[in-house]
Amino acid sequence: MTQDEMKKAAGWAALDYVTPDTIVGVGTGSTVNHFIDALGSVKDQIKGAVSSSEASTTRLEQLGIRIFDLNEVSELAVYVDGADEIDGSMAMIKGGGAALTREKIVAAVADRFICIVDGTKTVDILGSFPLPVEVIPMARAYVARELTRLGGKPVYREGVVTDNGNHILDVHGLQITEPRALEARINAIVGVVTNGLFAERGADVLLIGTPEGVIRKP
Ligand code: 5RP
């Protein structure tokens, strides 16, 4: 089974958590693209979606799924998104696709975060995947120095501008044993928009695509 087939299995399994006649929160990435395809198969049974990126919006619209502005929506039953790494406490590193800020905002509104991954994304300790940090462009060098003081090695993701017009620093070399504390610490650096640790608001349900089938946690 290929990695993409594992992603597809997890993406389609997330359909079980979508309630008819609701607006669905939709993340970003190659795993979520499979979920969007699955959502297209039930598009007449849902009201529409709140999207976390321009890329997901385009794919949703191509399937005829109505997009709602988050400001028009007071509640979302579920938010479905992928992750770059997820640990045993359901804390995640996200932002490989540079959509972390909008993802974190939509996830904050949702009652339940359904995380969909392939079997390569589960880890004991977060940090092998470089931690993305979205920064206001003029603060990039300052934030990089502060992240170095925290023990990381920030690398500017050249050529990438987020949907919010900002830059990304990918922080290498972290062993993240206290994800909540580090999430708060990095967010407190002036010039940081948000960081890719999703620990304060982690996942509620994890669906892992594996060659043996989809594993569901809890
Ligand atoms: C985008 C994300 C994605 O969820 C994460 O990068 C996983 O992507 P993929 O499903 O393509 O492996 O956080 O900002």
pLDDT truncated to tens, each residue of the chain (218 aa)?
999 999 999 999 999 999 999 999 999 999 999 999 999 999 999 999 999 999 999 999 999 999 999 999 999 999 999 999 999 999 999 999 999 999 999 999 999 999 999 999 999 999 999 999 999 999 999 999 999 999 999 999 999 999 999 999 999 999 999 999 999 999 999 999 999 999 999 999 999 999 999 999 99
Q: What is the per-residue pLDDT for 78?
A: 98
User: Is the CB of 110 inside a 6 Å radius of any atom of ligand 1?
Assistant: no
Cα 196 to ligand 1 centre (Å): 11
User: Is the CB of 3 inside a 6 Å radius of any atom of ligand 1?
Assistant: no
Q: What is the per-residue pLDDT for 96?
A: 97
Cα 38 to ligand 1 centre (Å): 17
Q: What is the per-residue pLDDT for 56?
A: 98
Within a 13 Å sphere around the CA of 28, how many CA atoms are in the beta-carbon half? 24
User: Is the CB of 25 inside a 6 Å radius of any atom of ligand 1?
Assistant: no
User: Is the CB of 134 inside a 6 Å radius of any atom of ligand 1?
Assistant: no
Cα 30 to ligand 1 centre (Å): 7
**Residue 177: count of CB within 10 angstroms of its CB:** 11
SS3 58: helix
**pTM beyond 0.85:** yes
81-116: buried (b, 16+ CB within 10 Å) or exposed (e) per residue?
bbbbbbbeebbbbbbbbbbbbbbbebbeebeebbbb
Within a 13 Å sphere around the CA of 8, how many CA atoms are in the beta-carbon half? 7
* Nearest ligand 1 atom to alpha carbon 96: 6
User: Is the CB of 97 inside a 6 Å radius of any atom of ligand 1?
Assistant: yes
Structural contact between residues 79 and 99, judged by C-beta atoms closer than 8 angstroms: no
User: Is the CB of 132 inside a 6 Å radius of any atom of ligand 1?
Assistant: no
Cα 165 to ligand 1 centre (Å): 19
Cα–Cα–Cα angle for 178, 191, 168, rounded to 5 degrees: 75
Structural contact between residues 206 and 13, judged by C-beta atoms closer than 8 angstroms: no
Question: Which residue puts its alpha carbon closest to atom 2 of ligand 1?
Answer: 95
The answer, yes or no, to whether the previous bond of 218 is cis (omega within 30 of 0) is: yes
Q: What is the per-residue pLDDT for 2?
A: 97
Q: How far apart are CA 129 and CA 216, in angstroms?
A: 23
Q: Which of 85, 103, 134, 146 is catalytic?
A: 103
Residue 178 known to be catalytic: no
Q: What is the per-residue pLDDT for 61?
A: 98
Q: What is the per-residue pLDDT for 146?
A: 98
Biggest CA pair distance of the chain: 52
